[in-house]
């Protein structure tokens, strides 16, 4: 009895002592500190930024992501005592929350009246503080978005500052408001409180004046709190391992059509074995080429290189010999990881020769596997959770090569942080969970296929199904029927071809498809909606941005646009002579590349300083939805007038929607340039196109007089139209070689 009392007295004394420490450390009232101590100890809460919220000058509105039943208790313990908390009905009545409700002022949320605006404005104007708990919805429905409008209106009327708060890790608590299949439960996850600096609505809008309405500015800021709730300085290997900890090491994470399924544990064990071999033949920080298809082996190799602090240079084996040799030399690649079976099956002997011509040696996975001993496997099984080398998120992780759709490819150097930030920016915009299965047919040497199609699932616990070639138009629908993916990434060209060969039930499991790299044609969107009940949400990216820049969502979407800018990004539009209502897009953000490597200065990073010129001409509506008007290089100057070749393609597509078309500009002695249509439509005639153009209200300058009919439009490995090859083809067919 005495021992029990002594233990209890010791626990009480420790509780009081820790409470005193927390009181002075965070500036809390003593009762707040005492009720905060159990949370602090149980969840090892990283709370260093909470003082930003506590010290924010009134009037202020704390906008809190309500992921679990824990947030109200936490915020009542941590926010200033004069804060008025608007609680949901369950939190306002829950018996266990009674001690915490006594710490501050609370009122119950009235769903019928949203907020009593006048009363709350009076509270705030009196130097008050308000805590609003908004549903944890990456894609809020109309009813939820009304809450953002209400908060925005109140903040503007009271000239109040907004402080977003996100408790990272709360979704996995036993008291989470998210279904368990979408957020696996953990009893004592580590929590981290993300708090952003106070800003008024006017200040939020001013950060991106070209693209924000008042409510969207608040919504974007709220998404940033979610983004920065992740530890973006962990490095990719550690971020992937953290995901394994969240969803479980036995969670199936990668599958292909040959090797089967790997869970996180097996994935990391295999990656460590490969990483050891990579260490033996390369140096830390060295660029190591990866020449592999979409299969388990490419993921194992990528993680092995990351673990060993090597830089993965993703070789585009569809780019041709000259481009591959140039890529190897530009990135100073001395070793290229590949597979003999892949090279033989894909008939890539010429690409191997190009690699060797560039000065690199091949490291064959078959030879690596043959050299692995039982001791190697045992060591990897014991140590799979730890990287082989220290991880630094600021260091290069991957080198990608731009598509070269309009010129010579460039080497783009991306850091761990660039790639992780971009994956989490997408996660803060699109609703995904470990319950999803993602079918990725886009090659990993393509930035969209790497970040969205590979890294994003690995750091979020979404199961990844890899298919080796996007060109298998008849097989991929069958694979989708068997794999039952809920998500899919693709390009319009690929998606249109899959739809032509698919049976109605092949894509029945899809929730949505994310499309990028080229504009989605209305016909493609219609087919997937009507036949497969799958929504195509269009996005926009560039390799230099890791790559995603903007994306629509299933709820916040607008057909014909590429969506809204991702959280934490900024943009500005530079006027372009001859183009009204649009401008040249410049970008800034944490996902922007470290810099380029060029063929004239191989191996030397030329850092990006400040804003990046995308070369794209875009327009932006008042809600922030971006419409691509075309590449700056995809505008023709005809008799002094600027004409968008992309707009001409859309016009032609409307007339012959079942066919493929590409529009290019070729030299013209009299008018400077003229437009040529390259098409698979055998029936295409200039007179019919001119008649259709007049009916559509298109200017005569937009209608091509020259039509080149082909069986296929040249396409890059990424799925984009190869405009360099298409223009060359048009010039040859029209006998303009000398003029070009």
Q: What is the pLDDT of residue 712?
A: 83
Could you report the per-residue pLDDT of 322-332, keeping only the tens digit for each? Answer: 889 989 999 99
> Do the beta carbons of residue 678 and residue 664 sit within 8 Å?
yes
Annotate 271-320 with three-state secondary structure: HHHHHHHHHHHCCCCCEEEEECCCCHHHHHHHHHHHHCCCEEEECCCCCC
> Do the beta carbons of residue 479 and residue 502 sit within 8 Å?
no
Lowest-confidence region among 87-101, 169-183, 451-465, 628-642:
628-642
**Over 50: is that where the pLDDT of 108 sits?**
yes
Q: What is the pLDDT of residue 697?
A: 64
Give one word for 719, left, alpha or beta, with left for phi > 0 and alpha for psi -120 to 50: left
Q: What is the pLDDT of residue 667?
A: 75
Q: Which of the four pLDDT bands, split at 50, 70 and 90, describes residue 207?
A: confident
**Over 80: is that where the pLDDT of 431 sits?**
yes
Q: What are phi and psi of 361, to 5 degrees?
A: -105, 150
Lowest-confidence region among 442-456, 478-492, 554-568:
554-568
Q: What is the pLDDT of residue 523?
A: 87
Burial code (b: 16+ CB inside 10 Å, e: under 16) for 662-695 equals: bbbbbebeeeebbbbbbbbbeebeeeebeebbee
Number of Cβ atoms within 10 Å of the Cβ of 350: 12
Q: Which residues neighbour 292 within 8 Å (Cβ) at sequence distance 6 or greater?
A: 298, 301, 337, 338, 339, 342, 365, 444
Number of H-type helices and E-type strands within the chain: 27, 32
* 203-207, 251-255, 700-704, 712-716, range with greatest mean pLDDT: 251-255
Q: What is the pLDDT of residue 662?
A: 83
Q: What is the pLDDT of residue 354?
A: 92
Q: Which of the four pLDDT bands, split at 50, 70 and 90, describes residue 391?
A: very high
Q: How many angstroms separate the CA atoms of 510 and 515, rounded?
A: 13
Q: What is the pLDDT of residue 49?
A: 95
DSSP state string for 399-450? EEE---TTS---EEEEEHHHHHHHHHHHHTTS---TT-EEEE-S-TTSHHHH
Q: Which of the four pLDDT bands, split at 50, 70 and 90, describes residue 672?
A: low
Could you report the per-residue pLDDT of 255-310, keeping only the tens digit for each? Answer: 998 888 999 999 999 999 999 999 999 999 999 999 999 999 999 999 999 999 99
Q: Which of the four pLDDT bands, split at 50, 70 and 90, describes residue 740?
A: very low
**Over 60: is that where the pLDDT of 737 sits?**
no
**Over 50: is that where the pLDDT of 739 sits?**
no
State the average pLDDT over residues 120-145: 85
Mean pLDDT of the chain: 87
Better-predicted residue by pLDDT, 264 or 124:
264
**Over 80: is that where the pLDDT of 423 sits?**
yes
* 111-115, 513-517, 610-614, range with greatest mean pLDDT: 610-614
Q: How many angstroms separate the CA atoms of 596 and 400, rounded?
A: 10
Block residue for tokens 């010579």: 408
State the average pLDDT over residues 372-401: 94
Lowest-confidence region among 401-405, 413-417, 558-562:
401-405
Q: What is the DSSP letter of 160?
A: -
SS3 state at 705: coil
**Over 50: is that where the pLDDT of 67 sits?**
yes
**Over 50: is that where the pLDDT of 435 sits?**
yes
Q: What is the pLDDT of residue 78?
A: 95
Q: Which of the four pLDDT bands, split at 50, 70 and 90, describes residue 566?
A: very high
Number of Cβ atoms within 10 Å of the Cβ of 147: 21
Q: What is the pLDDT of residue 569?
A: 94
Half-sphere exposure of 259 (CA within 13 A, CB side): 21
> Do the beta carbons of residue 467 and residue 256 sit within 8 Å?
yes
Q: What is the pLDDT of residue 404?
A: 52
Q: What is the pLDDT of residue 250?
A: 95
Q: How many angstroms separate the CA atoms of 679 and 687, rounded?
A: 15
Specify burial of residue 506 (Cβ count, 10 A radius: 0-12, 13-18, 19+).
Answer: buried
Q: What is the dihedral of CA 512, 516, 518, 523, to 10 degrees?
A: 0
Specify burial of residue 392 (Cβ count, 10 A radius: 0-12, 13-18, 19+).
Answer: middle
Give one word for 701, left, alpha or beta, with left for phi > 0 and alpha for psi -120 to 50: alpha
**Over 70: is that where the pLDDT of 641 sits?**
no
Q: What is the pLDDT of residue 568?
A: 93
Number of residues in the chain: 740
Q: What is the pLDDT of residue 555?
A: 73
Strands (E), 611-716: 612-620, 626-631, 635-638, 641-644, 661-668, 672-679, 706-709
- Nearest of 567, 586, 589 to residue 218 by alpha carbon: 567
Q: How many angstroms separate the CA atoms of 635 and 407, rounded?
A: 15
Residues marked as catalytic = 66
Both tokens of residue 235? 């490095």
* 78-92, 172-186, 238-252, 676-690, range with greatest mean pLDDT: 238-252
Could you report the per-residue pLDDT of 572-605, keeping only the tens digit for each? Answer: 998 877 677 888 899 999 999 999 998 888 988 9
Both tokens of residue 220? 């974007």
Number of Cβ atoms within 10 Å of the Cβ of 564: 27
Q: Which helix (H) or strand (E) holds 23?
A: helix 2-26
**Over 90: is that where the pLDDT of 235 sits?**
yes
How far from the centroid of its chain's Cα atoms is residue 654's Cα?
31
Lowest-confidence region among 66-80, 520-534, 554-568, 670-684:
670-684
**Over 90: is that where the pLDDT of 344 sits?**
yes
Q: Which residues neighbour 697 within 8 Å (Cβ) at sequence distance 6 or greater?
A: none
**Over 90: is that where the pLDDT of 396 sits?**
yes
Q: What is the pLDDT of residue 15?
A: 85
Both tokens of residue 160? 């109040």
Q: What is the pLDDT of residue 406?
A: 47
Q: Which of the four pLDDT bands, split at 50, 70 and 90, describes residue 77?
A: very high
SS3 state at 636: strand
**Over 90: is that where the pLDDT of 425 sits?**
yes
Q: How many angstroms separate the CA atoms of 243 and 250, rounded?
A: 12
**Over 50: is that where the pLDDT of 23 sits?**
yes
Better-predicted residue by pLDDT, 496 or 4:
496
C-beta pairs of 694-699 under 8 Å, 24+ apart in sequence: 696/651, 696/654, 698/651, 699/641, 699/643
Q: Which residues neighbour 295 within 8 Å (Cβ) at sequence distance 6 or greater?
A: 256, 258, 259, 342, 466, 468
Lowest-confidence region among 36-45, 294-303, 626-635:
626-635
**Over 70: is that where the pLDDT of 116 sits?**
no
Q: What is the pLDDT of residue 627?
A: 87
Strands (E), 669-740: 672-679, 706-709
């Amino acid at each position: 009895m005495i021992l029990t009392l002594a233990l209890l007295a010791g626990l009480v004394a420790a509780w009081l002592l820790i409470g005193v420490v927390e009181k002075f450390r965070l500036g809390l009232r003593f009762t707040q500190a005492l009720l905060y101590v159990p949370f602090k100890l149980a969840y090892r809460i990283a709370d260093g930024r909470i003082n930003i919220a506590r010290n924010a000058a009134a009037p202020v509105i704390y906008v809190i992501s309500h992921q679990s039943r824990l947030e109200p208790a936490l915020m009542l313990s941590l926010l200033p005592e004069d804060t008025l908390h608007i609680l949901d009905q369950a939190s306002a009545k829950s018996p266990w929350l009674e001690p915490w409700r006594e710490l501050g002022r609370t009122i119950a949320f009235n769903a019928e009246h949203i907020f009593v605006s006048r009363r709350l404005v009076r509270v705030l104007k009196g130097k008050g503080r308000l805590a609003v708990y908004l549903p944890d919805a990456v894609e809020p429905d109309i009813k939820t978005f009304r809450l953002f409008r209400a908060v925005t209106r109140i903040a503007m009327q009271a000239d109040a500052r907004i402080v977003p708060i996100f408790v990272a890790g709360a979704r996995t608590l036993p008291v989470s408001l998210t279904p368990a299949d979408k957020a696996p439960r953990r009893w004592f996850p580590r929590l981290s409180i993300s708090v952003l600096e106070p800003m008024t609505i006017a200040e939020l809008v001013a950060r991106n004046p070209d693209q924000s309405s008042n409510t969207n500015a608040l919504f974007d800021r709220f998404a940033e709190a979610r983004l920065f709730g992740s530890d973006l300085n962990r490095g990719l290997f550690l971020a992937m391992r953290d995901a394994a900890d969240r969803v479980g090491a036995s969670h199936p994470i990668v599958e292909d059509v040959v090797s089967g399924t790997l869970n996180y544990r097996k994935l990391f064990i295999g990656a460590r074995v490969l990483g050891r071999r990579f260490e033996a033949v390369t140096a830390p920080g060295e660029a190591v080429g990866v020449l592999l298809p979409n299969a388990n082996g490419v993921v194992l190799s990528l993680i092995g290189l990351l673990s060993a602090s090597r830089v993965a240079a993703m070789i585009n084996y569809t780019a041709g010999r000259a481009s591959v040799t140039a890529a190897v030399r530009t990135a100073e690649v001395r070793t290229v990881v590949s597979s003999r079976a892949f090279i033989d099956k894909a008939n890539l002997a010429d690409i191997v020769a190009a690699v060797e011509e560039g000065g690199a040696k091949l490291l064959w996975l078959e030879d690596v596997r043959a050299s692995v001993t039982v001791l190697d496997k045992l060591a990897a099984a014991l140590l799979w959770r730890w990287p082989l080398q220290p991880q630094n998120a600021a260091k290069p992780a991957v080198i990608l090569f731009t598509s070269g759709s309009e010129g010579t490819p460039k080497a783009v150097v991306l850091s761990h942080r660039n790639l992780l930030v971009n994956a989490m920016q997408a996660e803060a915009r699109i609703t995904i969970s470990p319950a999803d299965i993602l079918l990725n047919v886009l090659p990993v040497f393509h930035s969209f296929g790497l970040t969205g199609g590979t890294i994003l699932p690995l750091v979020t616990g979404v199961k990844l199904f890899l298919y080796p070639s996007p060109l298998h138009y008849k097989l991929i629908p069958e694979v989708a029927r068997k794999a039952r993916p809920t998500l899919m990434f693709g390009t319009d060209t690929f998606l249109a071809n899959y739809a032509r060969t698919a049976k109605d039930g092949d894509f029945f499991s899809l929730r949505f498809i994310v499309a990028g790299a080229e504009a989605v044609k209305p016909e493609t969107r219609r087919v997937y909606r009507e036949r497969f009940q799958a929504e195509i949400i269009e996005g926009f990216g560039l390799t230099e941005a890791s790559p995603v820049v903007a994306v629509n969502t299933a709820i916040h979407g607008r057909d014909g646009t590429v969506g809204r800018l991702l959280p934490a990004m900024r943009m500005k539009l530079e006027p372009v002579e001859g183009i009204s209502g649009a401008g040249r897009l410049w970008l800034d953000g944490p996902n922007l590349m470290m810099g380029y490597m060029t063929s004239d200065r191989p191996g030397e990073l030329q850092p990006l300083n400040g804003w990046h010129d995308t070369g794209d001409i875009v327009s932006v509506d008042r809600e922030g939805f971006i419409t691509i008007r075309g590449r700056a290089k995809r505008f023709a100057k005809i008799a002094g007038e600027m004409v968008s070749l992309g707009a001409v393609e859309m016009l032609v597509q409307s007339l012959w929607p079942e066919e493929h078309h590409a529009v290019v500009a070729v030299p013209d002695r009299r008018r400077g340039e003229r437009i040529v249509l390259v098409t698979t439509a055998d029936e295409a005639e200039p007179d019919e196109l001119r008649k259709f153009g007049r009916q559509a209200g298109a200017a005569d300058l937009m209608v091509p007089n020259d039509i080149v009919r082909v069986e296929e439009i040249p396409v890059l490995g990424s799925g984009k139209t190869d405009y360099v090859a298409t223009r060359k083809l048009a010039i040859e067919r029209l006998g303009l070689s000398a003029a070009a």
